[in-house]
Structure 1
Amino acid sequence: MTSSVKQLCTICHDGGVSKEAVTWCIECEVFFCGNCEKPHRMSRLSKNHKTISSKGYQELPSFVQEVSSQCSDHNKKFELYCSSHACPCCVQCITDNHKKCQQMKSLSDILKEVKSPASVQLFEKNMKDVKTKLDNAIQYLKTRISTTNIQKTKAIEEIRSMKKVDR
């Protein structure tokens, strides 16, 4: 999960300069060096954006790093979720690909549902159930490995004793 690759400041890199990034803006999905981070932090438009260190970003699992809040087709922010196609959509996606889709939900509404205490408790319970099942599966596999090793040892001993009898 942890990558040793140095991330470059997106702004500087776009300008042809290679400067090591110090932070990642979760909302802009951009790396910043110290110089570029300062105006981003002070701007009225982005001063409330959540950022993490570039080291913290590298420690995220790859599936988290691959999640984007922007549409790769239109470079616009996802705003809706299409239940019919099980995918997030930007405004342009709706016009282009989802005109006939009936079950569109606002992503902000979905987030409110997901963050509700009841859904968090249900998620925690489900995760505990998954952990229990995984622990049981691991224990079962350990038992099977142990049994297989015992059978292997017995089979080897039998083969050796048969070879001794043949001599």
Structure 2
Amino acid sequence: MASSVKHFCTICNDDGISNTADTWCMECEHFFCGNCEKTHSKSRLSKNHKTFSAEDYQKLPTFKKEISSQCRDHKKKFELYCSFHACPCCVQCLTDKHKICQDMKPLSDIVQQVKSSASVQLFEKDLKDVKENLDTAIKYLKTRISTSTINTQKTKSVGEIRYMRKSINDYF
């Protein structure tokens, strides 16, 4: 269940103003109030960014909220991919940690290859199959539970009838 945490506009909050956020930008990783969101959506650099409501952001699983497009060490956007270490890198990482790495590629190229890869489509199909199998298993287990409950009640009732019959026989 999503909690009712109120987020504040990142831009306004930086200026010491506490405006409630209306939207979240996935690329900027910022919350925006109505006024700041208008400016953000009109800016040449950010007009194509994907945004969604703060309520929808709140409903996201925690692991998705923790995904960042910025380097934790340098607070810069990931732009490169190191094939040797199999990790995204910012420009600063290149000079700090990946000086000897030879196979650096633009991250956008790697992401595009992954998205268009046949393995992604196969993975999606496999996930759908697993979901169907789990749904079938859940239905089966629910019927087993209800059948088990019915059998327990039946056994209990038969025992009560036998006890009553024995009591009647003993009385006569």
**TM-score calculated relative to the size of structure 2:** 0.72
Distance 2:13 2:78 in 1: 25
Aligned to 2:87: 87
Per the alignment, do residues 36 and 106 of structure 1 end up closer, same or farther by CA in structure 2, a change over 3 Å counting?
same
Structure 1 stretches lacking a partner, 5+ long: 150-167
2:119 partner SS? helix
CA contact (8 A) 1:11 1:36 kept: yes
Per the alignment, do residues 130 and 85 of structure 1 end up closer, same or farther by CA in structure 2, a change over 3 Å counting?
farther
* Larger Rg, first or second structure (1 or 2): 2
Structure 2 stretches lacking a partner, 5+ long: 150-172
How far is 1:72 from its partner? 1.8
The amino acid that maps onto 1:46 is S
Please provide the CA RMSD for this pair.
Answer: 3.4
Per the alignment, do residues 19 and 131 of structure 1 end up closer, same or farther by CA in structure 2, a change over 3 Å counting?
same
The 10-residue stretch of structure 1 (87-96 or 127-136) with the greater mean CA deviation from structure 2: 127-136
Identity of matched residues, %? 71
Higher relative contact order (CA 8 A, sep 6+): 1
CA contact (8 A) 1:2 1:61 kept: no
Per the alignment, do residues 85 and 141 of structure 1 end up closer, same or farther by CA in structure 2, a change over 3 Å counting?
farther
How far is 1:91 from its partner? 1.2
Aligned to 1:72: 72
Aligned to 2:108: 108
Aligned length: 167
Aligned to 2:56: 56
Give 1:1-167 correspondences, 5 Å limit: 2-116=2-116, 118-131=118-131, 134=134
**TM-score calculated relative to the size of structure 1:** 0.74
